Each structure stands twice: as structure tokens, then as C-alpha cells.
Amino acid sequence: MRLSITAVVYVLVLMVGFVLPALAQEDPPPLLSTTDLVFYPNGNAASSFYGVVTDADGNVYTVDSFKSFVLKYDADGNFIETIGAGRGSGDGQFAAPENLAIDASGNLFVADKDNHRIQKFSNTGEFLFEFGSAGSGDGQFNQPRGIAIHPNGDIYVCDFFNSRMQVFDSSGNFKMKWGSWGSGNDQFIGLRGVDFDVDGNVLTIEWDSSTNRVKRTDPNGVFIEEVYRFSGSVKPFALDVGPSGTIWVVSILNGAGTPTAFKIDPAGTLLTSWYAPNTRGIQEGGNGNLYTSNNGTLDIWGPVRVATDKASWGSFKSLYR
């Protein structure tokens, strides 16, 4: 009896499945706790958390975009204080801020989206200075969103509607830019998040169905590779690279109950995904826990556990992803 080529291949795949060691599959991290709801002095509740960042002491910061405050928590999720003077355009005031970053000295930089500027605060919450204005010239912004501080101290800002990355020195002086609207290797559509890998290269995410990807460039914007591309309704909204190079991404547009949080290894292999409700920001803390923003609270997730492996056709295919 002759076997067709398809049948032979199928038999070989089954045989390989029995002899290959199982590939690692990770469980989602367990949810440890959720912070208590915070009320501002005027009686309004915190309501719309976006970016999340941690400092060297383990404190966690997030930004309430709708109420226009920065909130500070300790590593266990206990509320400490607010930073900023509420909604407005004056020093220390915000208009729909979305993301924030911390430098090596603990200074806080906030992407003040609708004021088209970046504001800097000391590690005690004191306003220091601002840079940027509305426009498309060098050093100007059209809704800055993602922001991150490079190990060398430079400030990288996702200039969302100008479809470009802008780089500034630690004093806010413009240094360089790259990008334009489009889906090419040196272009962006919906540039929302930025962080750096362990080698200092730049990782970015784009929030658009035509580009929904994680991309790597060198610090000067020279394209290296597309690390990962999402499919379906996933649209990357926030990005963090952990101390060991793990890439964390969240999406807010998946269907109810489908994954909104993703763990990707430095080489671009998806390790696990899970549903984290209403998430707009993500950060891996130095304590190994993961912090994600919710509507008006922070969710704290424990270290990822490794599940029992199972050999399967699906895991065989992942060898050739």
C-alpha cells in the first residue's frame, strides 16, 4: 500500500512529537492584589490610569489621564501621595497626560499630551521645568504619548500625530528625530510606546491594525528588526522591557475575556498572554512583580510560573515560528 506524501509527513510529525522534549509554556502570572480606590481632596475618585513606572526604591507611579494627576504608591500598592496641580496649562498642571518615565536620579518626566509638552519633577514632586510646544518643528509635539529615559540619560518621546520619535538631552534640548507616517521599517503609524533592551537599543510599539508590531532600532533610529507582530484585534497600547530583557505589552481593544497582556522573550517568542481588565499601562518592578493600570486602580501580579509541558502539533509548529 502506498502512502501519500501528506500522510508520510503527518506520520513523521507524530513521531517527532514523541521524541522531542516538550517546549516550555508559561502560565499567566497570578493576580496578587488590587490597590484601593483613591479619592482626591475635592471628593472625586481616581478614574483613568494610563502609564505605570517604578523607581529604584520600588515605589510605583501612574498617571490619571482624566483627572490629570500623577499618583505614587509603595511596592505593596499602598497609596502615598499625588504629584501635580490638576488640570490646566500652568507649571505642574496637566491636560490628559498618558505616560511617564523616571531617570537615574529619581526625577519624574510626564508626557503632558494635550498641552503638547514634557514636564519634569524632582523625586519629591517639585516642578522643575518643561519643554516642547504644539507643532511639527524640531522639539515640538502633536500629542506626545510614550516616553522613556535611555541609560545614557537621553529622553525618547513618541510624537504620536507627527509619526516620529524625538530625542532630547537630560535638559530637554532637542538632539535628533526619525520617522514619518507609514508602515515601512523607518516609519510609524500610531507610535504609542518606547523602551530599551539590555543593549540600549530602542523598542517601540505601534497602535494600528496595519502596523501592530514591536520594532527594534539602534539608539539613532537605524532599523534592526521587527521583533513581534500581533494579529487579530490586538493593538499594542503600552510597552515595558523588564530588567532581564522580557518584553511586556498591553492592548485595550481585544474582545471581552480575550488576552490583553502579553509576555514576549527578547528574541520575539510569545511566552504567555492573559486577560488583564481595562489595562493601559504595564511595568515589571525590581521585586519581580508586575504592575498594570486599571480604570482607577493598579493590579499587582506575581512572578510567572512555568506549567507542565505538553508535546503537541502546536508546539512542534512553534519551533519554526
What is the model's pLDDT at position 257?
67
What is the model's pLDDT at position 14?
38
- Please return the burial class of 155, using the count of CB atoms within 10 Å of its CB with bins 0-12, 13-18 and 19+: buried
CB neighbours of 150 closer than 8 A, spacing ≥ 6? Answer: 156, 196, 200, 219
Radius of gyration of the chain (CA): 21
Give the residue among 60, 97, 102 at the shortest CA–CA distance from 81. Answer: 60
Question: CA 80, CA 96: separation in Å to the nearest integer?
Answer: 22
Give the residue among 278, 308, 302, 240 at the shortest CA–CA distance from 102. Answer: 240
Neighbours of 157 (CB within 10 A): 27
pLDDT for 229-270, tens place per residue?
A: 998 778 899 999 999 999 999 998 666 668 999 999 999 999
User: What cell does 26 get?
Assistant: 508559561
Whether the Cβ atoms of residue 269 and residue 321 lie closer than 8 Å to each other: yes
In order, the DSSP letters of 263-308 are EE-TTS-EEEEE--TT---EEE-TTS-EEEE-SSSEEEE-PPPBPP
32-60 average pLDDT score = 95
Whether the Cβ atoms of residue 265 and residue 247 lie closer than 8 Å to each other: yes
Is the pLDDT reported for residue 56 higher than 90?
A: yes
pLDDT for 81-98, tens place per residue?
A: 999 999 999 999 999 999
Question: CA 231, CA 206: separation in Å to the nearest integer?
Answer: 13
pLDDT band at 66 (very low <50, low <70, confident <90, very high): very high
> Which DSSP symbol is given to 182?
S
**Hey, which CATH number is domain 26-305, 2.120.10.30, 3.30.800.10, 2.60.40.1180, 3.30.530.20?**
2.120.10.30
Is the pLDDT reported for residue 7 higher than 90?
A: no
What is the model's pLDDT at position 304?
53
Question: Domain map of the chain by residue range?
Answer: 26-305
pTM above 0.85, yes or no: yes
Question: CA 63, CA 80: separation in Å to the nearest integer?
Answer: 14
What is the model's pLDDT at position 42?
87
Question: CA 95, CA 38: separation in Å to the nearest integer?
Answer: 20
